[in-house]
Chains A and B, each alone.
Chain A
Amino acid sequence: MHAPYPPPMTVFRVWDVPTRAYHWLQAGLVAGALFTGYLAPAWWLGVHVWVGYGLIALIVFRLVWGLVGSHYSRLSSFLYGRRAIVEHMRGLAAGRAAHAVGHTPLGSLMVFALVATIAAICLTGLFVLGGVENQGPLAAFAGFSSGWLARRIHALLSAGLLLLIGLHLLGVFGESWLGREPLVRSMLTGKKPVAADRIAPDLARPRHLAGGLMTAVIVFAAAMTGAYASRFTPSGLIAMPVLKAYQRECSACHEAYHPSLLPRASWARLMAHLDNHFGEDASLDLATTAKIAAYLKNYASQAWDTEAANRLRAVDPAHPGQITASPGWLRIHHRIDPAVFKSKKVRVRSNCQACHRDALSGRFDDQMIAIPKS
């Protein structure tokens, strides 16, 4: 007698609080990462990195919660076989929504794709930070070349993430419209109207204490390991003594450029022609010249694996002694407004210190850039 009627609808709390908090925190942090990565100036690197650490912690939590969370938060509840996925796609092609209680088959694919991509972006980000910037837990272990490769992958994956986010939104709104389901609201309130007979008969109960403890232990162990690893000397930097003669003589007219900013051949050429040094006589007595030339030969760019040494390694053949003429320098600075270089506090392009507060150390950290307001 009641057979032809659809089963009664009930408002079911499908997403627990931790899962919803995870979802929106992750959305916020990803937005922050995209903003600081694509739009914010370079000196926001510190914020970008901490957003990344936050995302790693969130993903750790989500994996733990995927094992001990409430029923529809568990990974086992949304691992679909190929058949279910194909069926879902056929349904969508015919204009039918999936009406899953938890994640739909395609929705679950999107969950895994998004989380895997974010995790891979965080991992490659650590390599960029360690290899290129000589900062963070991998500073002592990743060289510039691996960091530079990681930078490419980091950028590619980030573009891929933007695409996935677009598809995710399309999927959510498409499925909401097709199935007349308030999917966005259910991720806010946790509640979703579902047919009572579709709810799993024996719902796995959330284990809050276990989830919290496991997440805390893993995140704490990872943070401690990272903090310990960060204490090793960065692989790109070598110990360099201070040569007083270099500091005194070469900082009389300009800053004492870090020796890593030019290759040996360029330094040798400059030291051999001090009587015509960029249009001025900067000659020194023979003993001092020899002492400084030997120092520069020892600590020229060939001796370093820093970002500055690597990116300025190739010089302009027409001006091999001019740091600001190298193709690398020009590429790095091409978006800086020329007015900045003419401003009162900068005056000339060779005034590295005007914007790079750590220029004398040769580090050139992104966070240490401060372009003076004119």
Chain B
Amino acid sequence: MPITPLKPALVFAAGVVVATAGLAAANTARDAILKTYEHQAGVASFSAAAGKALFQGHHTGGKAATPSCTTCHTKNPRVMGQTRAGKPIKPMAVSHNPNRFTDPHKVEKWFRRNCHTVLGRACTAKEKGEIITYLSSI
């Protein structure tokens, strides 16, 4: 029986379902992380503009080689960045990398490391929430 014409359509439909489910799951996970930071900071929502200022800003408290988030992530979070050791970093903007900020351990690990490296101190829950909100908004 010639059932082949059906197959591509089925595969496409299955793909759409899986992708949608994946995106929904990622959004849920990110929302949960933001909720935690909202709770810790005692605020109802975060300002993307404050996150942008923090992400794009020039800082002096941290290590000399890394005065800004943009040192490695570049000024445009929608494109690939590069570590000082030459390795590519996937885009930070959620619109260009939907898996960003969906693993709470990974998010905490990199905020711990990079806030120390760039600012010379830990970030507050408010700052973390603002950065995630900024990078989710572009």
Contact = CB atoms under 8 A, between A and B. Distances in A.
Contact of A280 (B63, B82, B87, B109): B63
A354 B87 CA distance: 10
A346 interface: yes
Nearest to B82: A347
Nearest to B120: A281
23 contacts: A251-B87, A253-B83, A253-B84, A253-B85, A253-B87, A254-B86, A254-B87, A275-B116, A278-B84, A278-B85, A279-B65, A279-B117, A280-B113, A281-B113, A281-B117, A283-B112, A283-B116, A284-B109, A347-B86, A348-B85, A350-B86, A351-B87, A354-B86
Contacts of B66: 279-280
Contacts of A283: 112-113, 116
Contacts of A255: 85, 87
Contacts of B112: 281, 283
Contact of A279 (B64, B86, B87): B64
A195 interface: no
Interface of B: 63-66, 82-87, 109, 112-114, 116-117
Given A253-B84, A348-B86, 16 more contacts: A252-B87, A253-B83, A254-B83, A254-B85, A278-B85, A279-B117, A280-B65, A280-B66, A281-B112, A283-B112, A283-B116, A284-B109, A348-B84, A348-B85, A350-B85, A354-B86
Interface in A343-363: 346-348, 350-351, 354
Contacts of A350: 85-86
Most buried by A among B65, B86, B87, B114: B86
